[in-house]
Chain A
Amino acid sequence: MTVPAKQTGLLRRPRASTGFWSWITTVDHKRIGILYGITAFAFFLIGGVEALLIRVQLAQPEATLLNADQYNQVFTMHGITMIFLVVMPMSSAFFNYLIPLMIGARDVAFPRLNAYSFWAFLFGGLFIYSSFFLGGAPNGGWFGYPPNSVTDPTVGMTFYAVGLIITGIASTVGAVNLAVTVLNMRAPGMSFFRMPPFVWMGLVTQFLLVFSLPIITVALFQLLFDRRFGTVFYSPDAGGDPLLWQHLFWLFGHPEVYILILPAFGIISDILPVFARKPLFGYQFVVFSGIAIGFIGFGVWAHHMFATGMGPVANTAFGISTMIIAIPTGVKIFNWMGTIWKGDIRFASPMLFALGAVAMFVIGGLSGVMHSVVPADYQQTDTYFVVAHFHYVIFGGSIFALFGAMYFWWPKVFGRMLSERVGKVQFWFLLVGFNLAFGPMHILGLQGMSRRIYTYAESLNLTAWNQASTIGAFIIAVSVAIFLVSAIASFRRPKEMSNDPWDARTLEWSTTSPPPEYNFAKTPVVTHLDDFWHKKYVETEDGEYVPVPAGGAPVHDPGHGEGDGDDVPHDVHLPSPSYYPILSALGLPVLGYGIVFEGVWWLAPLGAVILIVPLFAWALEPAVEPSAEEH
Chain B
Amino acid sequence: MDQPIHTSIDTDYPVHDETSTGLPNTKLAMWIFLASECLLFGALIATYVLYRGASIEGPFPGDIFDIPYTSISAFVLLASSLTMVLALAAKQRDDEGQMRLWLLTTAMLGMVFVGGQIYEFTLFTREGLTLSTNLFGSSFFVLTGFHGVHVTVGILMLLTLVGFSYARQLPGERGELSVEMVGLYWHFVDIVWIVIFTVVYLIPTGE
- Residues of A bordering B, CB below 8 Å: 8, 109-110, 172, 176-177, 179-180, 183-186, 188-190, 210-215, 217-219, 221-222, 225, 229-233, 238-241, 244, 248, 251, 523, 525, 527-528, 534-535, 538, 548, 555-558, 612, 616, 619-620
Contacts and interface: CB of A to CB of B under 8 A. Distances in A.
15 contacts: A8-B169, A109-B29, A176-B29, A176-B36, A185-B25, A188-B16, A231-B138, A232-B135, A232-B138, A241-B50, A244-B47, A525-B13, A528-B6, A557-B4, A619-B160
A248 B131 CA distance: 20
Given A180-B29, A218-B47, A534-B5, A231 B40 contact: no
A523 to B, nearest CB: 6
B162 to A, nearest CB: 13
A28 to B, nearest CB: 17
A218 B43 contact: yes
Given A189-B9, A189-B13, A109 B39 contact: no
Interface of B: 2, 4-6, 8-10, 13-16, 19-21, 23, 25, 28-29, 32-33, 35-37, 39-40, 42-44, 47, 50-51, 54-56, 130-132, 134-135, 137-139, 141-142, 146, 156, 160, 164, 167, 169
Given A210-B33, A210-B35, A233-B139, 11 more contacts: A110-B25, A183-B28, A184-B19, A212-B39, A214-B42, A215-B43, A230-B131, A232-B134, A233-B47, A239-B56, A241-B50
Nearest to B45: A218
Contacts of B54: 239, 241
Nearest to B139: A233
Contact of B131 (A179, A225, A523, A525): A225
Interface centre among B5, B21, B141 (most CB of A within 10 A): B5
Contact of A109 (B2, B6, B25, B164): B25
A214 B36 contact: yes
Contacts of A244: 47, 50
B94 to A, nearest CB: 21
A569 to B, nearest CB: 12
Contacts of B28: 180, 183-184
Nearest to B14: A188
Closest 9 CB pairs of A and B: A230-B132, A214-B40, A231-B138, A218-B43, A184-B19, A188-B13, A214-B39, A109-B25, A186-B20
Nearest to A233: B138
Contacts of A525: 9, 13
A239 B135 CA distance: 7
Nearest to B163: A616
Contacts of A241: 50-51, 54
A520 B59 CA distance: 65
Nearest to A207: B32
With most chain B CB atoms within 10 A of its CB, the pick from A189, A219, A238, A248 is A238
Between A225, A231, A527, A548, the greatest number of chain B beta carbons within 10 A of the residue's beta carbon is seen for A231
A571 B171 CA distance: 22
A157 B37 CA distance: 25
A288 B189 CA distance: 34
Nearest to B20: A186
A218 B32 contact: no
A214 B42 CA distance: 9
Contact of B23 (A184, A188, A558, A620): A184
B47 A222 contact: yes
A240 B160 CA distance: 41
Contacts of A109: 25, 29
A528 B33 CA distance: 32
Contacts of B5: 534-535, 538, 548
A255 B42 CA distance: 17
B56 A185 contact: no
Nearest to B178: A619
A620 to B, nearest CB: 6
Nearest to A234: B138
Nearest to A535: B4
Contacts of A218: 40, 43-44, 47
Q: Which of A210, A218, A221, A534 has the most CB of B within 10 A?
A: A218
A524 to B, nearest CB: 10
A555 B20 CA distance: 27
A547 to B, nearest CB: 11
B36 A210 contact: yes
A621 to B, nearest CB: 11
B142 A183 contact: no
Contact of A185 (B19, B39, B44): B19
Given A222-B142, A231-B142, A189 B10 contact: yes
B29 to A, nearest CB: 5
A248 B43 contact: yes
Contacts of A186: 20
Given A184-B25, A214-B40, A240-B135, A221 B9 contact: no
Given A215-B39, A222-B47, A232-B135, A185 B20 contact: yes
B2 A527 contact: no
Contacts of A225: 131, 138, 142
Contacts of A184: 19-21, 23, 25, 28
Contacts of B6: 527-528, 534
B10 to A, nearest CB: 6
Nearest to A190: B20
B36 A177 contact: no
Contacts of A172: 33, 36
**Most A-side CB within 10 Å, residue of B10, B15, B25:** B25
A150 B24 CA distance: 44
A185 B42 CA distance: 31
A336 B160 CA distance: 52
Contacts of B139: 233
B47 A183 contact: no
Contacts of B164: 619-620
Nearest to B16: A523
Contacts of B156: 612
A584 B134 CA distance: 37
Nearest to A188: B13
Contacts of B160: 616, 619
Contacts of A538: 5
A282 B40 CA distance: 37
B138 A214 contact: no
